[in-house]
Amino acid sequence: MCPNCNHVFEIDGHVSSHDLKSLKEIFLVNGFEILYLDNFNFKYALKYGSLVKKLYRIIFYYLLKHRSKYQIEFIVKVSD
């Protein structure tokens, strides 16, 4: 559900972008237990390429806060 308007997401409808911190907060506020939450593409990107490419990706991600092109993996369940 959309955390802003509380309507169910639609295929063509709401779009939102999150980093690990904001997604974690949304899950916790809405009563989910987080089993797994990780930035998959960023860790994957650091495994491959030259040292220069890896440094560029780190600077781009941490210093410039440009995180929109990375994919977040998560597993959550409804809290008991």
pLDDT at 54: 80
Q: Which two tokens stand for residue 54?
A: 């890896």
Report pLDDT for 69. 62
Q: What is the pLDDT along the chain (80 residues), one digit of tens a residue?
A: 666 777 766 655 566 777 788 889 989 988 999 999 987 777 777 777 788 888 887 787 777 666 556 678 888 998 87
Interatomic CA distance for residues 11 and 4, integer angstroms? 17
Domain ranges, ordered by start, for the chain: 20-78
User: Quick one: pLDDT at residue 77?
Assistant: 92
Distance CA 29, CA 35 (A): 15
Write out the two tokens for 1: 């559900």
